[in-house]
Structure 1
């Protein structure tokens, strides 16, 4: 018998006690159509293994609790399930203004009793797992809570938004449909009433937020799904352009092990390099990715992206002209 089935019986027995019905072994056996012997074992397990303060009340011919505040512990989980939650706590520790990390911390404390049974002390887990990153956008806890509550309750969210393109604050009222965690930043996909269309808003760029009292009817997933996935990176759209990049044999060692997009394809080049192809809806983010690899990558197609990269390199040569001696390189040894 699986642990989840047994736990369902524990929950029923617990709820009967909380409701003041004084259940006993025959009640448990009848309700779940199990033997009286099995029902008695379940009650013993609750008392001996789950710590339930069970007391048999002779006058009521059933069980009650010595401690009315008792609650059942978490459902038994596997070592892998415990480990996955505790690692997630570490990975999300710096996001959402501490809202997620605090919730994970509280949940993690409940799981530590389970973890201790597997020989995993909290100090050891903190020592052997960590998460690192840079360039992420911290979000005030109140903003994150307002956004998630608006999503769950289907209530419009009003805020002032400052776009990085022009740094001009604009008041917005939006209908949140999806919250995405992307590369260290929380991004809200919402229907903007000002633009009468779906837009993407970084929570870190919101201020003066307020959840409005009225509700809205969410639009079908097809109306906003193109803003979440389909193309490379955070910039999405309905129209996609196939991009092909050729990496040198040296850089290909890493690229072959990476996933840039679920629909990517890899093709080995004759020189030992590799060609990576994937769909893109907007060149802005992929340009930054390409430039970080320097001379280890070449844009094969499309021509428009190749031209944009070439223009960017020309601008860089004006900053770092040939023969520039502004930076002194110290000799080795």
Structure 2
């Protein structure tokens, strides 16, 4: 664990020095490491040893005595080794991706995005950049998110560190409409879904392997503390496969296959905008279509079925059909209108 922490610190030191045109003092490096890695404390002596280790490994790190103290900076041999080249089309693709990631503004991810984007801009010949800017005006990213995770930056750093170190985290979590509760989680990774960040983590108090993995929305975190306690990751947990089991962001390792009968128009919409990569859409006699799609929870399919109105009917399983029927009954009651035109 200590070796892993040392490598992470040293890699971060190189990043910090690369961004510092006029170098950083030992104390500045120490403070940046604490902030960027979510540490509670870090001794100056540890930072000095890391710098000495990097120098001994052959990195061109120079020190210079200035009025503000001794500063460390990368020498010329460590700058400009990797030249970045890109076409105008590649720049447009990157800039669109950058626009879609605005919810990460204020986090270390966004700092990385901006740093990389600035490097590209500096390396591009003026003619290529002008060509990019001219054509970028013709491509618009609509429906962009208005949210930002800047206020959760510290929490996010703690969680990233916990994922890397397999560390148990104590969180204050506030689900919508409920009181804040203190929980202990074992984080495996992060997921971005519809402009929101989720933590894929096991609930420490749950022993049933089929029920342990949960998706915790970052918006609902009020506090996160990495404990001096570590967990052994379950070798059977593959976060990528785990996330593929649902239509949206609901958790579940045993997806349920839902069958929905669709009309011609609804089938066309589902074909244009698939609900799941493993869905199957087959035509039935009479012009209807049967959609078979895996879901982790009935609530995943509810909004999608309701959005299609009378052009969609859940066939099975019974519990999903009942869940949809219950919502429809509630809506029918809420929208029941008397003959004189007033709601009951």
Category of TM-score, reference length = shorter chain: 0.5 to 0.7
Deviations 1:222-253 (A, max 9, x none): 37667422233222323332211222222322
Whole-Å Cα distance in 1 between the matches of residues 323 and 218 of structure 2? Answer: 30
TM norm structure 1: 0.67
Q: How does 1:1-333 map to 2 (within 5 A)?
A: 18=60, 68=76, 71-72=79-80, 74-79=82-87, 81-95=90-104, 97-112=106-121, 113-114=123-124, 116-118=126-128, 119-122=130-133, 125=136, 128-133=139-144, 138=149, 140-164=152-176, 167-196=178-207, 197-222=212-237, 227-322=242-337, 325-326=341-342
SS for the counterpart of 2:258 is strand
Whole-Å Cα distance in 2 between the matches of residues 288 and 154 of structure 1? Answer: 36
Q: CA deviation at 1:322?
A: 4.6
Taking only aligned residues, the RMSD between alpha carbons, in angstroms, comes to: 3.4
Whole-Å Cα distance in 1 between the matches of residues 137 and 183 of structure 2? Answer: 41
Whole-Å Cα distance in 2 between the matches of residues 243 and 185 of structure 1? Answer: 26
CA shift in 2, pair 1:70/1:280, >3 Å: closer
**Structure of greater Rg:** 1
CA shift in 2, pair 1:74/1:93, >3 Å: farther
Q: After the TM superposition, which of the residue ranges 115-124 and 138-147 deviates more from structure 2?
A: 115-124
SS for the counterpart of 2:198 is strand
Task: Structure 2: state its 5+ residue gaps.
Answer: 1-56, 63-74
CA shift in 2, pair 1:245/1:256, >3 Å: same
Q: CA deviation at 1:19?
A: 8.4
Q: After the TM superposition, which of the residue ranges 117-126 and 208-217 deviates more from structure 2?
A: 117-126
SS for the counterpart of 2:102 is coil
